[in-house]
Amino acid sequence: MQSPPPPTSSVQQPFQTSPPQAMGQPQMSPGPQSPHMSPQMSPQQSPMSGPPMGGPPMGGPPMGGPPMGGPPMGGPPMGGPPMGGTPMGGPQMTGPPMAGMGRPFPGPPGPGGFQQPGPGAAGPPGYPQQAGNPDTTQVIEDDQVKRGGQVYSTNIRGQIPPLVTTDFTVQDQGNASPRFMRCTTYSLPCTADLAKQCQVPLASIIKPLANLPENETPLYVVNHGETGPIRCNRCKAYMCPYMQFIDGGRRYQCGFCNCVNEVPVFYFQHLDHMGRRVDFYERPELSLGSYEFVATLDYCKNNKPPNPPAYIFMIDVSYNNIKSGLVKLICDELKNLLEHLPRYEGVEASAIKVGFVTYNKVLHFYNVKSALAQPQMMVVSDTAEMFVPLLDGFLVNYQDSRAVISNLLDQIPDMFADTNESETVFVPVIQAGVEAFKAAECSGKLFIFQSSMPTAEAPGKLKNRDDKKLVNTDKEKTLFQPQKGVYEQLSKECVAQGCCVDLFLFPNQYMDIATMADVPSHTGGSVYKYNNFQASTDGEHFLRDLRKDVQKSIGFDAIMRVRTSTGFRATEFFGAIHMNNTTDIEMAAVDCDKALTVEFKHDDTLSEETGAHMQCALLYTTINGQRRLRIHNLSLNCSSQLSELYKSCETDSLINFFSKSACRAILNQPLKTVREILVNQTAHMLACYRKNCASPSAASQLILPDAMKVFPVYINSLMKTAPLVGSTELSTDDRAHQRLLIMGMGVEETQLLLYPRLTPLHNMDVSIKTHPAPVRCSEERLTDSGMFLLENGHSMFLWLGQAIPPDLVQNIFNLPSLAHLQGNMCALPELDNPLSNKVRAIINDLIEKRPNSMKLHIVRQKDKPEMVFRQFLVEDKGLHGGASYMDFLCYVHREIRQLLT
């Protein structure tokens, strides 16, 4: 007897990672499978995990830059391997032409196109009856109603977590929290053939240092002394809940490679009548999904304990930055910010050392030793062979040198007040940071504030290569590729030293961000961009970003490896990472907002009985200079039935995978090909579902797996983002910047980026503490008399209808009508009335919650700036090309029908 098909809605299908296969009927195993428990766990068991923890799921802002539309997708849709492959010069995505060859995309529904069931004929269960296409906001709201406010215990193998938008509390009972690890499906296909047939990518999105809400227990730290963590002799997996103790507790069988290992004498413990160690609940590594080990000297460079990391602030003092007031703004802020450097709870002062450099064509280093009455400047003008002219007094403890540093920060704006120097260097600045860390034998982070492309004669000098004529040609990919040579080598040197680079850019024109951001994108760094910066309107936005960046949780000099149980393995890695081999993920630093996406492939058959295990091990240096191993474990189900796989899919994770694989693919392939692969994989996944899992229905019906019913709206939105839309109206730097942002995003960030929150504020009940419910992201939802807030984690707009009631304008802006509103306003006045208080609280709460700060843009209906706002209404036709949600569904439906005929 076959297992029942998963609930269906209208069409839905994910993106594939291997060439399309003929869709034969899969072998089904008898009977439905019950949920499996992880080894040594049952639903009643609640290992030592402290009180239930909860709090809002970690949300992260999606990337900046308006989502954009793509031009019509004509030409033969392509199948092919996962978008991505190796960067530059990697294999091309290819595959046989698929159904729908040469048909323009999209077009009006032809005979048998997407149809909404009429009054007489109900659609399949869950089919949207009202708007005619699945509603993302309804899916989010339903999950919040069903699972919001609940405790999510992780003791069941293959359990699907709540959506990233749902507010829930995690209790670790043997599998890692979804805040640390999420998967594209929680039931892996048993065979490679089954995986090829359905084309659903098998991947995990890992945010190893994710912040936890206050009501969730922080990770326990296990210290085994000089012997270090216990590991399998064969595969080197770390002790975890999936190890099975045998022979009275004297040996254990590895849950990853099945090797039988001896238990060290100091670690021996008797087993109870269930075969479980009697100290099970006392040892985090046996009972929890996530925990840390204190690493021994074997895990340290040169077998020496690491020194605490250092932060170096490197300020471009060329003419533009002085004139705009930026240098003074930075110096004033640092005096306050240095008082709040990251530190562990209970520790009085941060262990992080600080240093300061200013630069234009030459570099100025500052001696801020505590014994000095005044800071001393040393200038290096030979930028070809970079060195640090002083060691003692350059990197100092802030608390010791507070007076000298404060003095320096007061002096810097005045020292360069009369400068006329407009040329800058860039690569020598990073080289200086690496050399300083080498000399101090530490890792750390460079905060670089730069306003122009480096044109001075020095290593890394760049030329303007922006060429709009390349857009929509096969050479468009070169606009996203960094210039080769010194930048590539510099990335390797930074990673080797544990030197992370964060870049704050203030461009007035093209800067070649694809090249300048190459080092941050390989060192775990971040890139922030403020076009045409003005201190009066952009200053607070920049300072909020800087504060968050300096104060966020972070680990340095990190190496990560993902191990899997037999039958499958990690094959592809996407993120702000560097890899010297095929298994070790190297990051100069990794912070609480950075996520990497790992794709898996079969190398054997998986067992339904034992399931599949994965273990992420991150070796890193803490801000106190302690070497630690952070371990995250996750167990998944395996099934030989496609219906189980589709039932266990997670749309938020799938879209994260597709976003990153597409953003990597555009380095090597024409955008048109990448978009075609996205559409075809979507169609292929959904066609496989319809053929093998859905109940028979009319061909005119679009049938979607319930777990993926809003997948098409996200895919369509992805194709309208700046990197994937071929438009000469978008700046090359904006497109390159958004591509780099996406590569480091977690699941929360990509979800919000691709489906922004559009919230009506004009009719809310100000007495209720919660935020008003969002509405669908479409122009149809806007009303002339309304006020709507839209945000996607990087951009925020307050849209005002032309017929908005005067009392609303008075309460929010203290103005008699919209006509009196200033065009450049970017903050709301603080007025003492309930509506003003509520609106400002909502805006501040969202800005605080997201990893990046957002600048508020106030937009009036029918004003010119409204065009920018409309780019974010992702269900509508794209401003720069790209289909509406309904047109895209029609097109995908036709592709599915072609595949099934």
pLDDT tens digit sequence for 262-313: 999 999 999 999 999 999 999 999 999 999 999 999 999 989 999 999 999 9
Average pLDDT of the chain is: 86
> Where does residue 410 rank: exposed (0-12), middle (13-18), buried (19+ CB within 10 A)?
middle
For residue 523, give the nearest of 437, 458, 459, 439 by alpha carbon: 437
The torsion defined by the Cα of 236, 202, 601 and 495, in degrees rounded to 10, comes to -60
For residue 450, give the nearest of 396, 386, 519 by alpha carbon: 519
For residue 718, give the nearest of 878, 515, 511, 890 by alpha carbon: 878
Query: Which sign, positive or negative, has the C-alpha torsion 824, 828, 830, 834?
Result: positive
Tell me the CA distances in angstroms from 691 to 11, 128, 290, 401, 642, one per residue in order: 12, 21, 39, 70, 10
Residue 131, both tokens: 């708007």
**Per DSSP, which regions of 757-878 are E strands?**
757-760, 787-791, 796-800, 856-860
Residue 109, both tokens: 């529904």
CA gap 530, 451 in Å, rounded: 9
Place of tokens 């109206």: 729
Helix, coil or strand: residue 729: coil
Helix, coil or strand: residue 671: helix
- What confidence score (pLDDT) does residue 828 get? 94
Place of tokens 């009202």: 130
Report long-range pairs for 140-143 (Cβ below 8 Å, ≥24 apart): 140/165, 140/166, 140/774, 141/773
Residue 708, both tokens: 């993926």
Question: Distance between alpha carbon 558 and the CA centroid of its chain, in Å?
Answer: 18
- What confidence score (pLDDT) does residue 595 get? 97
- What confidence score (pLDDT) does residue 521 get? 95
Instruction: Please list, residue by residue across 37-46, b when 16 or more beta carbons sit within 10 angstroms of its beta carbon and e when fewer do.
Output: bbbbbeeebb
> Where does residue 145 rank: exposed (0-12), middle (13-18), buried (19+ CB within 10 A)?
exposed
Q: 122, 4 in Cβ contact below 8 A?
A: no
CA gap 206, 899 in Å, rounded: 34
Instruction: Express each pLDDT in 746-795 by its tens digit.
Output: 999 999 999 999 999 999 988 888 899 999 999 999 999 999 999 999 99
CA gap 39, 22 in Å, rounded: 37
Instruction: Express each pLDDT in 312-356 by its tens digit.
Output: 999 999 999 999 999 999 999 999 999 999 988 778 889 999 999
Task: Let me know how long the chain is.
Answer: 901
- What confidence score (pLDDT) does residue 133 get? 86
Identify the weakest region by mean pLDDT among 3-17, 423-437, 662-676, 859-873.
Answer: 3-17
Instruction: Express each pLDDT in 31-65 by its tens digit.
Output: 333 333 333 333 333 333 333 333 333 333 333 33
Q: 601, 192 in Cβ contact below 8 A?
A: yes
- Interior angle at CA 841, CA 838 and CA 846, nearest 5: 130
Q: Residue type at 411?
A: Q
* % of the chain beyond a pLDDT of 70: 85
Place of tokens 């810097």: 412
CA gap 654, 714 in Å, rounded: 10
Q: Give the mean model confidence (pLDDT) for residues 11-29.
A: 34
Query: Which strand (E) or helix (H) includes residue 311?
Result: strand 310-316
The residues near 351 (Cβ < 8 Å, ≥ 6 apart) are 308, 343, 623, 624, 625
- What confidence score (pLDDT) does residue 865 get? 87
Q: Give the mean model confidence (pLDDT) for residues 391-413.
A: 95
CA gap 532, 729 in Å, rounded: 17
Q: 611, 157 in Cβ contact below 8 A?
A: yes
Q: How many helices (H) and strands (E) does the chain have?
A: 21, 30
Q: Give the mean model confidence (pLDDT) for residues 84-98.
A: 37
Q: Parallel, antiparallel, or unpaired: how do β-strands 203-206 and 596-602 relate?
A: antiparallel
Q: Give the mean model confidence (pLDDT) for residues 688-698.
A: 92
Q: How large is the angle between the packed helices 427-440 and 486-497, nearest 10 degrees?
A: 20
Checking if the pLDDT of 8 tops 60, the result is no
* % of the chain beyond a pLDDT of 90: 78
What phi, psi does 394 have (nearest 5°)? Answer: -85, -55
Query: Which sign, positive or negative, has the C-alpha torsion 417, 420, 421, 422?
Result: positive
The residues near 619 (Cβ < 8 Å, ≥ 6 apart) are 295, 299, 558, 559, 560, 627, 628, 629
- Interior angle at CA 413, CA 412 and CA 417, nearest 5: 120
Q: Give the mean model confidence (pLDDT) for residues 124-139.
A: 62
* DSSP for 160-195, written as a single string: PPPPTTS--EEE-SSS--TTTEEESBSEEESSHHHH
* DSSP for 567-607, written as a single string: TEEEEEEESS-B-SSSS-EEEEEEETT--EEEEEEESSPPP
Helix, coil or strand: residue 651: helix
Q: Parallel, antiparallel, or unpaired: how do β-strands 290-294 and 627-639 relate?
A: antiparallel
- What confidence score (pLDDT) does residue 770 get? 87
- What confidence score (pLDDT) does residue 766 get? 87
CA gap 705, 185 in Å, rounded: 13
For residue 497, give the nearest of 447, 444, 429, 456 by alpha carbon: 444
Q: Return the bridge partners of 639, or none.
A: 189
Taking residue 625's Cβ as centre, other Cβ atoms within 10 Å add up to 16
Q: 378, 365 in Cβ contact below 8 A?
A: yes
Q: Residue type at 72?
A: P
Question: Distance between alpha carbon 409 and the CA centroid of its chain, in Å?
Answer: 34
Instruction: Express each pLDDT in 623-659 by its tens digit.
Output: 999 999 999 999 999 999 999 999 999 999 999 999 9
Q: Give the mean model confidence (pLDDT) for residues 84-113.
A: 35
Q: 310, 355 in Cβ contact below 8 A?
A: yes
- What confidence score (pLDDT) does residue 104 get? 37
Checking if the pLDDT of 434 tops 60, the result is yes
CA gap 90, 669 in Å, rounded: 10
Categorize the per-residue pLDDT at 729 as very low, low, confident or very high, splitting at 50, 70 and 90: confident
Instruction: Express each pLDDT in 152-164 by its tens digit.
Output: 999 999 999 999 9
Residue 183, both tokens: 């998967």
- What confidence score (pLDDT) does residue 132 get? 65
CA gap 691, 24 in Å, rounded: 9
CA gap 685, 694 in Å, rounded: 13
Look up residue 36 and give its DSSP letter.
P
Instruction: Express each pLDDT in 850-866 by its tens digit.
Output: 999 999 999 999 998 89
What phi, psi does 757 have (nearest 5°)? Answer: -85, 120
Residue 698, both tokens: 């009319």
